[in-house]
Amino acid sequence: MKLAVKNMVYVALGLIIVYGLYRYIRVEGFSGSGNTFTLYYADWCPHCKTVKPAFESWMSSQTLVTAQMFEADKDSAKVQAAGVKGFPTFQLKKADGSVKECTARDPAGWESFLKANL
């Protein structure tokens, strides 16, 4: 009986580890799809303060693309390299290297944009 309980504990720990790795890989930008949807934002931007929590929630639950966020001051090199001119900016970088900007500022709009452009 003790062996069965011990084995169940090991299985449960293994599942927790696998799930954690899956979420890290998918959320942190290591997806194999090659399509990346990025929010470029600034902490001082009032529009960004509204859209950032919605994007954070959406990015952890969506499955269409790799989603990521870069903050203007902390990630200035990435923001500049992307050619961002205002905040918030949403960009889809496709596997073929092409980039499209999305003007939607809500999850339904992002989903619609991605489905139309993938």
* Between 33 and 55, residue with greater pLDDT: 55
* 54/100 same-domain check: yes
Residue 18 has pLDDT above 70, yes or no: no
Residue written as token pair 């944009």: 113
Question: Under a CB-based contact definition with an 8 Å cutoff, are residues 42 and 84 in contact?
Answer: no
Question: Under a CB-based contact definition with an 8 Å cutoff, are residues 92 and 83 in contact?
Answer: no
* 16/65 same-domain check: no
* 23/59 same-domain check: no
Question: In the numeric block, which tokens belong to residue 87?
Answer: 């905040």
Q: What is the pLDDT of residues 60-74, one digit of tens each?
A: 899 889 999 999 999
Global pTM reads 0.72
Q: What is the mean pLDDT of residues 69-84?
A: 96
Residue 25's domain comprises 1-30
Determine the Cα–Cα distance for residues 90 and 79; give it in Å rounded to an integer.
Answer: 11
Residue 32 has pLDDT above 60, yes or no: no
Residue written as token pair 């290591």: 30
Residue 108 has pLDDT above 50, yes or no: yes
* 71/93 same-domain check: yes
